[in-house]
Amino acid sequence: MKIIKGSVTAPQDFLAAGVNCGIKKNKPDLALIISKIPALAAGIFTKNAVKAAPVIISEKHLKSGRAQAIIVNSGNANCLTGKKGIDDAMETAKAVAGSMWISPSDVLVASTGVIGKPLDAGKIKAAVSKLISQLSVAGELSAAKAIMTTDLCPKRIAVAVSIGGQTVKIGGIAKGSGMICPNMATMLCFLTTDADIELKALRSSLRDSVEDSFNAITVDGDMSTNDTVFILANCLAGNPRIKYGTKDYKIFCDALGYVTTYLAKEIARDGEGASKFIEIEVKGAKNKNDASKIAKEIANSNLVKTAMAGEDPNIGRIAAAAGAAGVKFEESKLDISVSGIKIVSGGNVTYQKRPKVKRLLKKGEIKISIDLHSGKASAKVWTCDLTERYIKINARYN
């Protein structure tokens, strides 16, 4: 597998564009990604009880397992907008479908931004022909920029992998920020591939890759009203069709997992106001669920995150967060390492190591590692520190 240039238009016969349609003042706020031919399609959506209108429409459109275009606006989430919101999302899909001579059910819709404000679908409809005229391979960067909200930089990647002697490509763009502690900040990710793959295999690989990537930066149930991941597979790579459970399937999953993990880490790194990227690994747990619960509890502790911002190796806050996850473990077996230095061993703190750890915390990347010594399961979670800038961004949003 190798990393290649570009993102969603790196696979064969995908095009993209991003423009300003007037929802935001001057920044790009409308993106379109299309496959030249109808593609297999799968999606993963928020589990939030409050679902945005585009989520409801796209879930419906995905039932066929087929789509050809993804239209995304930023600046307005089209959520808590009642019946009008549903109509507006549908109008958006119809506008794209009409201009592309395809069925509205082949258009997927996503939105991100302010909740509870009616979406001006008219602005989107008026911009669709301009958007389509600008579709190109190079347009992927504009598309990646048009889906940003408080993100500081566009997030994009593409990889190539050999399957059955043919080069298969996977590309993706994502947005998400404010992932610091639980949080409702919307995460959007749009993936494309030219792999020839069964629908069942596509759906399953997407589910698994999201579980180990985007769900490792967002606590279960803490998803926003708009969280969405789509994948389009136009099957043009000429590889032997990938079937679920085969060796080729494994190769595809690994490559897709690489793409989603990369994008998930980019989101954590770009957390609002973040000054440090933090990886939390929990090892030696009885099962993966236990490991994941402890890792997420630590990742979501404001006290741990502020200690990291202050470059203070406050091991007590890490241990307290680990213990608060609702998972039983023996304190006398607990090991905790920070950036490679074992500072808790068998439940006892080695206080002399503090100055060394304190120096390591000055770096931009921190790794917290916990070993429970009570099993073989492990889990990784990514997050960032909690800074005064986070509060500034989130108290003065809007």
Q: In this structure, how many other beta carbons lie within 10 angstroms of the beta carbon of residue 395? A: 8
- Which of these segments, 22-30, 201-209, 219-227, 235-243, binds its own copies (CB under 8 A)? 219-227
The H or E element containing residue 378 is strand 377-384
Q: State the minimum distance, in angstroms, from the CB of residue 250 to its own copies.
A: 33
Q: Which of 109, 223, 255, 299 forms a contact with its own copies (CB under 8 A)?
A: 223
Q: Which of 89, 180, 216, 357 forms a contact with its own copies (CB under 8 A)?
A: 180
**151, β-bridge pairs:** none
Is residue 291 near its own copies by the rule CB under 8 A? no
Torsion of CA 21, 25, 30, 31, to 10 degrees: 130
Is residue 323 near its own copies by the rule CB under 8 A? yes
Q: Which burial class, exposed, middle or buried, applies to 224 when counting CB atoms under 10 A from its CB (0-12, 13-18, 19+)?
A: buried
Nearer residue to its own copies within complex by CB, 84 or 130: 84
Q: Which of 32, 115, 163, 282 forms a contact with its own copies (CB under 8 A)?
A: 115
| Sole residue written with tokens 């409801």 | 56
Q: Which of 55, 229, 344, 357 forms a contact with its own copies (CB under 8 A)?
A: 344
Q: How many residues bind its own copies (CB under 8 A)?
A: 72
The H or E element containing residue 114 is strand 107-114
Stretch 141-170 residues interacting with its own copies (CB under 8 A): none
Q: Are 168 and 160 in contact (CB under 8 A)?
A: yes
Q: Which of 132, 320, 341, 360 forms a contact with its own copies (CB under 8 A)?
A: 320
Is residue 306 near its own copies by the rule CB under 8 A? yes
Instruction: Give the contact letters, 247-276, x = binds to its own copies (CB under 8 A), - = no.
Output: ------------------------------
Q: Which of 65, 122, 245, 310 forms a contact with its own copies (CB under 8 A)?
A: 310
Catalytic residue among 9, 186, 225, 260: 186
Per DSSP, helices labelled H in 2-67 are 53-61
Question: Can 167 be counted among the known catalytic residues?
Answer: no
Q: How far apart are the first and last CA of the chain?
A: 42
Is residue 15 near its own copies by the rule CB under 8 A? no
Q: What are the tokens at 35? A: 């496959």
- Which of these segments, 22-30, 145-153, 201-209, 321-329, binds its own copies (CB under 8 A)? 321-329
Stretch 95-114 residues interacting with its own copies (CB under 8 A): 114
Is residue 64 near its own copies by the rule CB under 8 A? no
CA pair distance 153, 237, nearest whole angstrom: 30
Q: State the minimum distance, in angstroms, from the CB of residue 375 to its own copies.
A: 15
CA pair distance 314, 316, nearest whole angstrom: 5
Q: What are the tokens at 316? A: 């007590």
Distances (CA, A) of 288 to 165, 326, 335, 357, 380: 35, 14, 18, 28, 10
Cα-atom radius of gyration of the chain, to the nearest Å? 22
Q: In this structure, how many other beta carbons lie within 10 angstroms of the beta carbon of residue 396? A: 7
Is residue 59 near its own copies by the rule CB under 8 A? no
Q: Which of 32, 39, 89, 184 forms a contact with its own copies (CB under 8 A)?
A: 184
Q: State the minimum distance, in angstroms, from the CB of residue 330 to its own copies.
A: 9
Is residue 195 near its own copies by the rule CB under 8 A? no
Instruction: Give the contact letters, 19-58, x = binds to its own copies (CB under 8 A), - = no.
Output: ----------------------------xxxxx-------
CA pair distance 18, 75, nearest whole angstrom: 14
Is residue 221 near its own copies by the rule CB under 8 A? yes
Q: Are 248 and 163 in contact (CB under 8 A)?
A: yes
Catalytic annotation, residues: 186
